Homo-oligomer: A and B are copies of this chain.
Amino acid sequence: MTAEPAGRPTRYFVTGAAGFIASNLVDRLLSEGHRVVGYDNFSKGREQFLESALRNPSFQLIRGDVLAFDDLADAMRGSELVFHLAANADVRFGTEHPRRDLEQNTIATWNVLEAMRRNGIRRIGFSSTGSVYGEAHMIPTPENCPFPVQTSLYGASKLAAEGLIAAYCEGFGMQGLIFRFVSILGERYSHGHVFDFCKQLLEHPDYLKILGNGHQRKSYLYVQDCVDAILRAVDTVREKVSILNLGTSEYCEVNDSVGWISEHLGVQPRLEYTGGDRGWIGDNPFIFLDCSHMRALGWEPRYSIRDSVIKTARYLLENRWLFGSAV
């Protein structure tokens, strides 16, 4: 509970800047008049997501990999706060390439912290995940719930990254904001359930394949609400290490998303459920977070899950290039 610098610096470094959440964060920072250096290797990032940013003279894009330490450290020079959002965000296929989460989430975070240390940068905001709670026994799950057992390589790699950040804050006098997200939806969303459902329904409006029984409960947060929360925490938190759940106080079933999307698209698909009760190995049947800690900082989400699903569907309809050549 040391008093640490709070408030908004002016020079930001954003890893994975061309990603879904990061590019929205970049746009917001620029709209508020800050300077931003975006760093991305474009393995998954999309240059289109930075179209607006690239027209802003306060934005600099550096192509580089978070695993290339010297490039990263050079790029970071002069920044005051690092938002580390570069990650392998694919919880689903972790067992197909078990080194990917280790490298892109755990080792990458170590690189970011070391590069910060080399540059004397003391503040970091990090996108962790509700997946670190594994099979949570407390629902909604608070940050200090019973010490969980990991169930996915993705969750394990993010928890490892959290641990590194906390230890660096303790050992090297940094300040860390760790955000445990539910799934985020909104403009530039390009993976996961809602993306898959929209893609399928544009390809074949008459049927929809659903992994699991459709009763998997899911909690989502709209990306602009997510960005609001991140910046609210930057403005207000003074603790050395702060871990903050980020989500809404509601949840839905996968079937609800299906209904909202179908309604928005004006389709009535036949629903084909596959793969048993749960979607896939390592999937969590339900992530629903107690966000009272974040709310106590004066934040609350402005959009419902239904809003965010429909906003996402609308965006995807207007940006079909995201589906590739199939649609």
Contacts and interface: CB of A to CB of B under 8 A. Distances in A.
A83 to B, nearest CB: 20
A114 B143 contact: no
Interface string A170-207: 11100000000000000000000000000000000000
Interface string A76-111: 000000000000000000110011001000110010
B171 A282 contact: yes
Interface of A is mostly: helix
B145 A146 contact: yes
Interface in A135-178: 143-153, 155-157, 159-160, 162-164, 166-168, 170-172
Contacts of A153: 164, 167-168, 171
A233 to B, nearest CB: 16
Contacts of A156: 160, 163-164, 166-167
A172 B163 CA distance: 24
A281 interface: yes
A98 B171 contact: yes
A124 interface: no
A123 to B, nearest CB: 17
Nearest to A135: B170
What bracket does the count of chain A residues touching chain B fall in? 35 or more
Interface string A100-133: 0010001100100110010000000000000000
A172 B106 contact: no
A149 B99 contact: no
A280 B144 CA distance: 26
Contacts of A317: none
Contact of A166 (B102, B146, B149, B241): B149
A150 B166 contact: yes
A252 interface: no
B146 A147 contact: yes
Contacts of A113: 98
Residue of A99, A149, A281 with highest tally of chain B CB at under 10 A: A149
B152 A159 contact: no
A243 interface: yes
Nearest to A239: B149
